[in-house]
Amino acid sequence: MAEYVYCNGTLVRADEAHVGIYDHGFLYGDGVFEGIRAYNGGVFRLTEHVRRLYRSAHALSIRLPMEQDEFRAAIIETVKANNMQSCYIRVSVSRGTGLGLDPEQIHNDPTIIISTRQLRLYPQAMYDEGLDVITASTRVPPAVCIDPQIKSLGRYINNILAKMEANRVGAGEALMLNMAGNVAEATGDNLFLVRDGALITPPTSEGALVGITREAVMKLAADLGVPVSEKVVTLYDCYTSDETFLTGTAAEVIPMVRLDSRAIGSGKPGPITHAIIDAFRRCTATECEPVYA
């Protein structure tokens, strides 16, 4: 079956879609994106993802040519065109095309690409047994320089470099620190600690993305009666926590059981982590916007 992508208002075969060589996203990382998941014929947190996309675009003064409900419909139509039940949906938006940094000197007509693929970041064994994680030497950009609330294309080069550090030593993931030495996030995930029965996660001001899965987990924890707070997190806090897990659209919820050769808690996924994973799976099974209704 042919693979279709949404390309600037039209569904086309993936092998026929193209982006111009002077596209600002390609030349300068000048754009925004979202990663979204579909489960069993429904899209998870579609409205929240599209809202975040539009907030990111507005923050960069990128003017999208359609309303949010039209964009949601385009995402659903792309999933339908590929007859996907469960998949990873990638939405990419660039400012437009033209050579040179100055947005006033380019054709400000955003390039919009929506695609669907199967994606699994980690093997099942890592979900069952937990991740072995390192601390990367590559830091997240300071929040005063690049606001982590903007999910921009150009920001992620540091995350890629940190992931390469993890790959070099065979680790499943890497934590990234900010310039103050506090933990911000993992290369593609948010971080949660469990201490004395409560969850702690770094705030956005420390360099963490306000993740959609992060927000879902915070609500699920509250529903389970598990207190949640946003606090500055140090490596010491991670090393000495009772449990730790990571969250993200692609990763979902995955336990982290070792950090820098130190066991976290018992060295196995803990009871609160298991409870959050189970609650998240129930959530994705029941709270998706239907594609094929």
| Same domain? 55 vs 90 | yes
**Final residue of a structural domain among 77, 98, 117:** 117
Q: Summarize pLDDT for 157-190 with one digit per residue, the tens.
A: 999 999 999 999 999 999 999 999 999 999 999 9
Q: Is residue 91 part of a domain?
A: yes
Whole domain around residue 235: which residue ranges?
Answer: 124-286
Contact 230, 281 (CB under 8 A): no
Q: What is the CATH number of the domain that holds 48?
A: 3.30.470.10
Is 231 marked active-site? no
Listed in order, strand segments (DSSP E) in 142-270 are 173-177, 183-186, 190-195, 198-201, 228-230, 243-248, 252-259, 262-263
| Same domain? 13 vs 105 | yes
Catalytic pick among 151, 163, 219, 231: 151
Contact 166, 135 (CB under 8 A): no
| Same domain? 133 vs 49 | no
Position 293 scores a pLDDT of 72
Across all residues in the chain, what is the average pLDDT?
95
Contact 213, 253 (CB under 8 A): yes
Q: Is residue 291 part of a domain?
A: no
Q: Summarize pLDDT for 106-148 with one digit per residue, the tens.
A: 998 999 999 999 887 788 888 999 999 999 999 999 988 999 9
| Same domain? 201 vs 224 | yes
- What pTM does this model have? 0.94
**Final residue of a structural domain among 50, 85, 117:** 117
Contact 7, 131 (CB under 8 A): no
CB-based contacts of 85, cutoff 8 Å, min separation 6: 38, 40, 41
Q: What is the CATH number of the domain that holds 176?
A: 3.20.10.10
Rounded to whole angstroms, the maximal C-alpha distance in the chain is: 58
| pLDDT mean over 273-284 | 96
| Same domain? 99 vs 145 | no
| Same domain? 86 vs 218 | no
| Same domain? 79 vs 188 | no
| Same domain? 111 vs 96 | yes
Query: Residue 272's Cα: distance from chain center in Å?
Result: 22
Q: Summarize pLDDT for 219-278 with one digit per residue, the tens.
A: 999 999 999 999 999 999 999 999 999 999 999 999 999 999 999 999 999 999 999 999
Domain tally for the chain? 2
Res. 1: pLDDT tops 80: no
| Same domain? 88 vs 128 | no
| Same domain? 99 vs 134 | no
